[in-house]
Amino acid sequence: MEITLKINGVEKKLNVEPRTLLAHAIRDAGLTGTHIGCDSSSCGVCTVVLDGKTAVKSCTMFAVMAEGHEITTIEGMAQGGKLHPLQQAFYDQHGLQCGYCTPGMIMAAHVLLQHNPNPTEEEIRFGLSGNLCRCTGYQNIVKAVQQAAQMLQQPAGAAADD
């Protein structure tokens, strides 16, 4: 069946089966930043953002169910050639080792910060507990989210003056 998915603001017509998982549809559309890890809803590397404020493990949603929703993937985070504060913070804090979990971590952290712009360390660990890093690099991931929270809280333009 033909469906239309709006991914990172761009409408894409895709030919899928009802059983096609959203993670596969996104990757088949050429956006391979969304990874597939455990295939069992556990690891969170396939996390994407739905309608700006909710996160979903895209291996646990059929592509047809995403019709009519705005999907954001890691490719949609940088704007105008400038890294999103979360991406910049993961870079600055070395919030990744092998990098496989990173897209899911960033998308999950993005949603976490929408709901809680100034989280404590404990709240960050709680909020990211559905995302696994097999390198166990959690310490710097938490630091990166803390830095991103600070960057996002600065008034617009302040960062550019630094």
Partner 1 sequence: MIPAAFEYKRPMSLEEAISHLAEHGYDARVLAGGQSLIPAMRYRLAQPSVLVDINKLPNLGYLHEENGMLRIGALVRDTDVEFNKNIQSKYHLISDVSMVVADPIVRFRGTVVGSLCHNDPSGDWAAAAIAARAQMVIQGKNGSRVESIDQFLVDSFATSIGEGEMAVEARFPTPNSLTSGAYEKIERKVGDYATAAAAVQIELNPDGTIKEAGIGITAVAHMALRVVEGENLLRGQKPTLELIRAAAEEVRKIADPNPDARGSAEYKKDMARVLVGRGLIKALRRLNVVVA
Q: Which residues bind partner 1 (CB under 8 A)?
A: 1, 17-19, 21, 39-42, 44, 47, 50, 54-57, 59-62, 64-65, 68, 108, 111-112, 115, 126-131
Q: What are phi and psi of 121, to 5 degrees?
A: -55, -40
Comparison of 60 and 97: residue with beta carbon closer to partner 1: 60
Kindly state the smallest distance separating residue 68's Cβ from partner 1, in Å: 8
Q: Which two tokens mark 95?
A: 């919030």
Q: What are phi and psi of 116, to 5 degrees?
A: -145, 85
Comparison of 94 and 117: residue with beta carbon closer to partner 1: 117
Comparison of 64 and 83: residue with beta carbon closer to partner 1: 64
Kindly state the smallest distance separating residue 131's Cβ from partner 1, in Å: 7
The set of residues, in sequence order, having a beta carbon less than 8 Å from that of 92 and lying 6+ positions away, is 144, 147
Q: Within a 10 A sphere around the Cβ of 46, how many other Cβ atoms?
A: 28
